[in-house]
Amino acid sequence: MSGLSRRGLFGLGVAGVAAVGAGAVATRALVDEPVAHASSTSGPVPFYGSHQAGITTPAQDRLHFVTFDVVTKERAELVGLLQDWTAAAARMTQGKDAGTFGAVGGDPEAPPDDTGEALGLPPSGLTLTIGFGASLFDDRFGLADRRPPALADLPAFPGEDLQKEISGGDLCVQACANDPQVAVHAIRNLARIGFGKVAVRYSQLGFGRTSSTSRAQATPRNLMGFKDGTNNMKLEDTAMLRDYLWAAPGDGPSWMDGGSYLVTRKIRMHVETWDRAPLAEQQAIFGRDKGKGAPLTGTNEFDAPDFAKTGPDGTPVIAADAHVRLAHPSSHGGARLLRRGYNFVDGSDGLGRLDAGLFFMAYQRDPRTQFVPIQKTLSAKDALNEYIKHVSTGLFACPPGVVDAGDYWGRALFS
Ligand SMILES: C=CC1=C(C)c2cc3[nH]c(cc4nc(cc5[nH]c(cc1n2)c(C)c5CCC(=O)O)C(CCC(=O)O)=C4C)c(C)c3C=C
Ligand SMILES: [Fe+2]
């Protein structure tokens, strides 16, 4: 038993118990799961599927995001690591220890193959999602001709103040869960397994998802107090996901078919300044009401904004520099993003200010026609710019899902 699950069966839910008890049979059933989500906040999310979990999966409450630099020069070692990581990820997402012996089941004279801090905790909706950064496609691993055109470096945007030490990375892993200890445990164990082959470049903790990715979820609030994610792309929007989320055959190299591109931006908020801005100004900046999240031209949260509507003075009710006007698909030829960001507070900055903001994450089919034009517009015109600063950036090609236990993260890229 200890080799199968050191965390026990409680909280696993029906699918999790089946996975623990029935091995390969249960795994096969998980492959057919149409949408990767847990039946409860503590249950398991299926790991295997044609797309990676953690993208359309209803956004969990907690994030531990990490990027790694690959330090080995051997392609075979990198492939071996991806295989080992995949096996550990398949286990941990189902509430098992990272390795088959576990935190306490192995040789007492050897380091345990799991660090142990998730012992007794349920799977908590853990998803692990991998991405490959542009730097992986340099001359080290023979991948230069496999770099997707959509993984083009992001241009510089006005006003950003990017810190190299917390930007980029050869690989990224997004761990999302409804228990922060479960997300941290997963990243820590991947880093442990990668010792000598990869080195952590930076990591970011997040809390309080700032987007809904399913219509079944209530819209959460960001640290500016506004509902965030109202007009996000959601897993129920099947046609939009096809057009704006998943890389399709013919888009680029076939190894990315069924994958998606992740843009990350750590965005510091000047919360103390924001908190001194009048309510009317805050609402004008977003173009939405702070209470219900309704557009300033409507009454309810999901009313469509009317950008043509003018007030008694003849000026637009939703201002020309309002965030939702500038980011709206109608300003970008229909382009959309699947936003999946998290709030962060990294303590204080030594100057009496909270080091707080939004760890923005957005998945898309092609950043060149989605994130880049939207951010170009926002960086040039958004009234919100007075209160925010982009301090880190990342762009990653997230391959399609791992289909079964014989497959591994990025297999099509290396074969
Ligand atoms: C380049 C993309 C975007 C960045 C960067 C960004 C930063 C950012 N956004 C908020 C808060 C809100 N954003 C909202 C909507 C919204 N934002 C983007 C894109 C970026 N935001 C899009 C595409 C949209 C949807 C626009 C639409 O279709 O109406 C909203 C409104 C509610 C909602 O629909 O989610 C809020 C609030 C912050 C605080 C921020 C940087 C710190
Ligand atoms: Fe936004």
Backbone region of residue 93 per phi and psi (left: phi > 0; alpha: psi in -120 to 50; beta: other values): alpha
In a domain, 263, yes or no: no
Single-letter amino acid, residue 374: I
pTM, two decimals, is 0.93
Instruction: Enter the ipTM.
Output: 0.99
**Does the C-beta of 370 come closer than 6 Å to ligand 1?**
no
For residue 265, report the distance from its CA to the centre of ligand 2, in Å: 12
Per-residue pLDDT of the chain (415 residues; tens, 9 = 90+): 333 344 543 333 323 323 333 333 222 233 334 456 777 789 999 999 999 999 999 999 999 999 999 999 999 999 999 999 999 999 999 999 999 999 999 999 999 999 999 999 999 999 999 999 999 999 999 999 999 999 999 999 999 999 999 999 999 999 999 999 999 999 999 999 999 999 999 999 999 988 889 999 999 999 999 999 999 999 999 999 999 999 999 999 999 999 999 999 999 999 999 999 999 999 999 999 999 999 999 999 999 999 999 999 999 999 999 999 999 999 999 999 999 999 999 999 999 999 999 999 999 999 999 999 999 999 999 999 999 999 999 999 999 999 999 999 999 999 9
Q: Rounded to whole angstroms, how far apart are CA atoms 336 and 161?
A: 25
The residue with tokens 């760890």 is 359
Pocket test for ligand 1, best of 269, 339, 364, 395 (most atoms within 8 A of CB): 339
- Is 242 in the same domain as 283? no
Domain residues for 372?
271-394
- Is 221 in the same domain as 324? no
In order of 70, 71, 141, 284, the CA distances from 196 in angstroms are 9, 7, 16, 51
For residue 215, report the distance from its CA to the centre of ligand 1, in Å: 17
- Is 165 in the same domain as 276? no
183, 220, 258, 256: which is closest to 339 by C-alpha?
A: 220
In a domain, 6, yes or no: no
- Is 127 in the same domain as 233? yes
**Does the C-beta of 222 come closer than 6 Å to ligand 1?**
yes
**Does the C-beta of 324 come closer than 6 Å to ligand 1?**
yes
For residue 222, give the ligand 1 atom closest to its CA: 39
- Is 227 in the same domain as 304? no
- Is 279 in the same domain as 230? no
For residue 271, report the distance from its CA to the centre of ligand 1, in Å: 17
* CB neighbour list of residue 261: distance below 8 Å, 6 or more residues apart: 150, 151, 247, 363, 364, 365, 366, 367, 395, 396, 397, 398
